[in-house]
Chain A
């Protein structure tokens, strides 16, 4: 048992089937099968994250492969995970640095060409880090054939236990992340068993997460 840093009460570790991950400046990422430390006193819930690089790369891949337009936050995330600064990245996607900065801040609309180049350059950057990864080459083909249709109106579900497993894209009617939603519970595309008794609890003003009432398994 560990003690809560905030109130000094004891904490227990629970495994959640779905947890809204707000740690990466994106608002549509949900982690599946994640361990969360829950304080018995103040009820603070803190995810315990492992293999963060794999997790962040997986989120980047899921964004690069999404069949929807990239938001400015998506664009920024891909650049940062690729490990490049604005000047270097903007050269790779053939726009001036100042113009690119406006794309990231949301002041300019992201063109289809910039989107494709961002996705391709991101996957290329990962490929450079891991040249043996055949999957990335396949992803590159997928990206070149994408015809992104809608804006981001879905959540990306990453399996925290196995971040390299394909991400799932679940429809998001935004209420999903703020209050109980039957559609989320009944989602057929989940890579794991359907969620039961999902309760989505506001944490504080800007952070929401999905909580599952039942504890799955004791964790070390």
Chain B
């Protein structure tokens, strides 16, 4: 198992990727959850690029062999949301795995 990023490095890495021509991929499953929580790409971007912080340890996703980071932030209506992401530095991507509402 590789070493995870610490919280500060992880959020910096997410922004480095997204603000430097990197890709955001939002999984189908995430879109389903977003629909249920009336969250859209505008909210996801706001949390990941601007107001989100990571204050929990990453979880190891055994199936996909990647760490999952939970980014807590506020959506455009100032509601609390958490976006769970994978950071894939090799392909310069951030993958939004799922969204959780009012979880922090």
Contacts and interface: CB of A to CB of B under 8 A. Distances in A.
B49 to A, nearest CB: 7
B28 A48 contact: no
Contact of B31 (A5, A23, A77): A23
A52 B78 contact: no
12 contacts: A5-B27, A25-B38, A44-B28, A46-B27, A49-B24, A49-B25, A50-B21, A52-B49, A53-B45, A56-B42, A80-B42, A207-B31
A56 B45 contact: yes
A185 interface: no
Interface string B27-46: 11101000100101110010
Given A5-B27, A25-B40, A56-B45, A51 B76 contact: no
Contact of B24 (A5, A52, A86, A206): A52
Given A5-B27, A52-B49, 17 more contacts: A3-B64, A24-B40, A24-B41, A37-B25, A44-B28, A46-B27, A48-B23, A48-B24, A49-B23, A50-B22, A50-B24, A52-B41, A56-B42, A81-B42, A83-B76, A85-B76, A206-B35
Interface in B76-104: 76-78, 88, 91, 93, 95, 97
B54 interface: no
Given A2-B91, A23-B31, A46-B26, A85 B78 contact: yes
B74 to A, nearest CB: 10
A6 interface: yes
A24 B42 contact: yes
A50 B27 contact: no
Interface residues of B, number: 27
A52 B95 CA distance: 14
B60 to A, nearest CB: 16
Contacts of A25: 38, 40, 42
Contacts of A207: 31
A202 to B, nearest CB: 14
Contacts of A77: 42
Contacts of B88: 2
Contacts of B76: 80, 83, 85
Interface in A81-108: 81, 83, 85-86
Contacts of A5: 27, 29, 64, 95, 97
Given A24-B42, A85-B77, A52 B25 contact: no
Contacts of A37: 25
A17 B53 CA distance: 36
Contacts of A46: 25-28
A24 B35 CA distance: 11
